[in-house]
Amino acid sequence: MDLFQKKSTVLNLITSLEKWYDAIYENSNVDIVAHVFNTISKRTLSPYKEQLPFYEETELLLLNELKDIIDNCNYVCNVIRDTKLVLELPRKPVMGVKTRWLTYLFTCRDTLEFLGIIN
């Protein structure tokens, strides 16, 4: 998978999950929607061990690669937040929060958005 395909895949994932989250949140009276959504999102890239036999090896490799991309984007955003680079940006990049998995996708969005500015 080349860089363009990776970028496209991550952006499509972000867009899909944001729409899905909005639809669930708007149509629900459940207070734990955020927790449920975060658990589902987390387990999309890190399936439970019991679920691993249902995946093909290539699918697991792709999920692992996407997880690495997300981890790297989180790292980049944290570095930017902790340096003077943040002064060159229109806003601070999102910081990934373990209990709010969607923030990790936002770090991907911010990394892609700010990449041209910080280069």
Q: Give the tens place of pLDDT for each residue, 20-48.
A: 666 666 666 555 666 777 777 777 778 88
Domain ranges of the chain: 3-118
Is pTM beyond 0.85? Reply is no
Q: Looking at residue 101, what DSSP letter applies?
A: T
**Residue recorded with tokens 């949140």:** 25
**C-alpha span between 46 and 101 (Å, rounded):** 12
- 57 Cβ contact list (under 8 Å, min separation 6): none
- Confidence grade of residue 7 (pLDDT, cut at 50, 70, 90): low
13: CB partners within 8 A, 6+ apart: 66, 105
Look at residue 29 in the predicted model and tell me its pLDDT. 55
The whole-angstrom separation of Cα 96 and Cα 53 is 29
